[in-house]
Structure 1
Amino acid sequence: MKILVTGATGTVGREIVQQLAEGGHHVRALSRNPGRAKLPAGVEAVAGDLTAPETFAAALSGVEALHLINFGGDDCAPLQTGEQIVALARQAGVRRITVLLGGSPTPLDAAVAAGGIDGTFLQPVEFMANHLEWAASIRSEGVVREPFCDRLSAVVHEADIAAVAVAALTQEGHAGKTYTLTGPEVLSVRQKIEALAAAAGREIRLVELTEQQARERWAAAGFPPEAIEFFVEIYGNTPEIGYTVDPTVERVTGRPARTFAQWAREHAAAFAA
């Protein structure tokens, strides 16, 4: 089966590419810089940009399934070319599409839903991989600085997101579904740090930031005001979907979702002194 994966060098995209390749599928991986993609052996790297669908129209030739992300460019702005992408996919004979959803609806989501191709939407909660953002301060100081430290999250392993995507791309029975994807447990910031400390074999201190300190840090990092307001809302008032365990990963893949402790062990070297 020939499958095109967009966002192939991203956190989830790389996992999808790896799992499809291991499953024996012919994988095309779309990247704006394919020469730097560093993809698994046998994967066909192709150039293209989701904000300019004509740049990858030829890469859809012979493709039966397509994985899409709903943003384009380095600024992660919502993709505005959904109708063109779906039209090209339909012309090429694509039979299945998966879409990795973001925080709010985009034109791509609507285009896939109305496009006449079997579509599956993947809505993960917080990625476990996001915690690599703590690695530098843990390595250098043994410290994590975060606001809203009592917030809860059913954080999900990126490999589990990919496994559900692979199932939807390669199997029947997923058309029209929107899958909420979580891990198997609900954790606080403190519990995550305990798991990282156990995996890395070192003490890690937590320094809780005030909301104002967090706002100043995000502003200094270059985030625009609307992004900062989103962070304050999502971390300070996490919606119920973000801290409620959903069994979809196990139901779709046939095995339990990976725990944060497992993710921590897999990435222990990133947090070592």
Structure 2
Amino acid sequence: MTVLVTGARGRVGRAVLDRLHAEGLPVRAASARPDRFAAPAGVPVVELVLNRPGTFRAALEGVRQVFLYPEPAGVDAFVAAAEAAGVEHVVLLSSASVLAPDAESDPLGAHNLAVERALAASGLGTTLLRADAFASNALGWARPIGAGLPVELPYPEAHLAPIHPADIADVAVSALTGGEPRGRAVTLTGGQSLTLRAQVGVLARVLGREVAVETISRAEAERQMSRSMPAPLVGSLLSFWSAATAGPAAAGDTTRSLLGTPERTFHQWAVENAAAFTGN
């Protein structure tokens, strides 16, 4: 009953892999470059590239559960191969962006919708983890904070309920092993609504020094963000932040509501990742 973990280089995928392995469950990591992936001792790593169907058969052999990272390229062929291989259940790391009214035209929403729909059209059991804002998105501020510079934000009063990636991993492992929310579609958030300015404030308190916030124009934010992100995704994210200034973010499901364990806070994430903001 092997579990295949895709996206194992990511924070959530790696946490899922480590948890399953620590529980003594048979798990396999998938990577486009298996020679460059350092898996835990005893965990096999296989090549899997979603736009190369020739990599599917070996990756899926003997697999009954899949933790799937959302990539629409080749997903229809992958789903067909999973069915043929005898896969029983897929836990998808999706996005809350699929719930937006304009999801089909929004780049991020459409990206995740394509994968959700491919799974819905299959005979596979499916759990959809529609994660909202990640606490780890704050790592985008590591460079200016580490250099003692202001954090430049176009919408500092945007409200989010950031979720700790470890919470997503806990929910995913529960679903993969037969617990909640197996077979359901859930929207995952943290337990507290915080503005982007407030998140910077949490980091400042953890670091023990002031961190300034500077409001910049949307055009300037587009210019800066386009250096490391495709332009359509930049526009999508900025529009999301703009809409989020309307008021506190609504909480969705958390580890507390699904698993009966307290959700991790943004403060906890900041403490765990403080070294990333020191500039060393």
Normalising by structure 2, we get a TM-score of 0.88
Partner residue, 2:140: 133
**TM superposition shift of 1:240:** 8.5
Q: Secondary structure at the match of 1:131?
A: helix
Q: Deviations over 1:167-199 (max 9, x none)?
A: 111115644411100001000112111211122
Q: In structure 1, give the amino acid aligned to 2:60.
A: L
Partner residue, 2:30: 30
The change in CA–CA distance for 1:248 and 1:270 in structure 2 (over 3 A counts) is closer
C-alpha RMSD of the superposition: 2.1
Check if 1:236 corresponds to 2:242.
yes
Partner residue, 1:85: 78
Q: In structure 2, give the amino acid aligned to 1:114.
A: A
Partner residue, 2:124: 117
Within the candidate set 144, 155, 165, 2:162 is matched to 155
**TM superposition shift of 1:272:** 2.1
Q: Distance in 2 between matches of 1:163 and 1:132?
A: 21
**TM superposition shift of 1:34:** 1.5
Normalising by structure 1, we get a TM-score of 0.90
Q: Distance in 1 between matches of 2:207 and 2:4?
A: 37
Q: Secondary structure at the match of 2:244?
A: coil
Within the candidate set 147, 168, 187, 2:175 is matched to 168
User: Contact 1:167–1:252 at 8 Å: present in 2 too?
Assistant: no
Q: Distance in 2 between matches of 1:240 and 1:16?
A: 34
The change in CA–CA distance for 1:23 and 1:12 in structure 2 (over 3 A counts) is same
Q: Secondary structure at the match of 1:243?
A: coil
Q: Secondary structure at the match of 1:183?
A: coil
Partner residue, 2:88: 95
**TM superposition shift of 1:164:** 0.9
Partner residue, 1:75: none
Moved more, 236-245 or 59-68: 236-245
Q: How many residues align?
A: 265
The change in CA–CA distance for 1:242 and 1:112 in structure 2 (over 3 A counts) is farther
Q: In structure 2, give the amino acid aligned to 1:95.
A: E
**TM superposition shift of 1:68:** 1.0
User: Contact 2:158–2:245 at 8 Å: present in 1 too?
Assistant: no
Check if 1:182 corresponds to 2:164.
no
User: Contact 1:3–1:26 at 8 Å: present in 2 too?
Assistant: yes
Q: In structure 2, give the amino acid aligned to 1:186.
A: S
Check if 1:191 corresponds to 2:198.
yes
Partner residue, 1:76: none
Q: Secondary structure at the match of 1:84?
A: helix
Q: Distance in 2 between matches of 1:224 and 1:110?
A: 24
The change in CA–CA distance for 1:205 and 1:125 in structure 2 (over 3 A counts) is same
Alignment gaps of 5+ in structure 2 = 98-108
Q: Secondary structure at the match of 1:191?
A: helix
Partner residue, 2:262: 256
Q: Deviations over 1:4-23 (max 9, x none)?
A: 01111012111111111122
Identity value in percent:
35
Matches within 5 A, 1:55-94: 55-71=55-71, 79-94=72-87
Q: Distance in 1 between matches of 2:138 and 2:77?
A: 35
Q: Distance in 1 between matches of 2:246 and 2:116?
A: 22
Q: Secondary structure at the match of 2:215?
A: strand
User: Contact 1:126–1:242 at 8 Å: present in 2 too?
Assistant: no
Q: Distance in 2 between matches of 1:101 and 1:241?
A: 24
Alignment gaps of 5+ in structure 1 = 72-78
The change in CA–CA distance for 1:250 and 1:241 in structure 2 (over 3 A counts) is farther
Within the candidate set 189, 206, 213, 1:206 is matched to 213
Q: Distance in 1 between matches of 2:53 and 2:118?
A: 14
The change in CA–CA distance for 1:217 and 1:252 in structure 2 (over 3 A counts) is same
